Amino acid sequence: MNKKVYFERIKGEAVAILCARYWWRGIVAEVGDDGLILGGSILVYETGKMDGNQPKSEEACGADTFISYDAIELIGQFPWSFYGIKEDK
């Protein structure tokens, strides 16, 4: 499955994306041909346990963020991905 199809399937849901060595999390707001918009994006400095309920250290960006598919290293819906996020479904 390609990345665009994957993100279309989870549009409106929380996700964590490892992108250029940094984790980002938020809601998949829009899906395009070359990337996606991560709504209410949060930069995660330290995840802590991958199966933990919340990240150890993070900072809200206060804006949506465009992420290019080419920059994505890993995608996941880990338990901490959902921490404090209301899904748009």
Q: How many domains does the chain have?
A: 1
Let me know if residue 43 belongs to a domain. Answer: yes
Q: Which two tokens stand for residue 64?
A: 């949506």
Q: Could you give the CA distance from residue 25 to residue 8 in angstroms, rounded to a whole number?
A: 16
Let me know if residue 24 belongs to a domain. Answer: yes
Q: Provide the whole-model pTM.
A: 0.91
Q: Could you give the CA distance from residue 62 to residue 51 in angstroms, rounded to a whole number?
A: 26
Does the pLDDT of residue 62 top 60, yes or no?
Answer: yes
Which of 85 and 37 is assigned the larger pLDDT? 37
Q: Give the pLDDT confidence score for residue 1 in this predicted structure.
A: 79
- Average pLDDT for 44-69: 95
Let me know if residue 12 belongs to a domain. Answer: yes
**What CATH number does the domain containing 39 carry?**
2.30.30.100
Q: List the Cα angle 77/73/1 in 5-degree steps.
A: 70
Let me know if residue 70 belongs to a domain. Answer: yes
| Residue 28 CB-density burial (10 A; 0-12 exposed, 13-18 middle, 19+ buried) | buried
Distances (CA, A) of 2 to 8, 10, 83: 10, 13, 26
Q: Which domain holds residue 47?
A: 3-82
Let me know if residue 19 belongs to a domain. Answer: yes
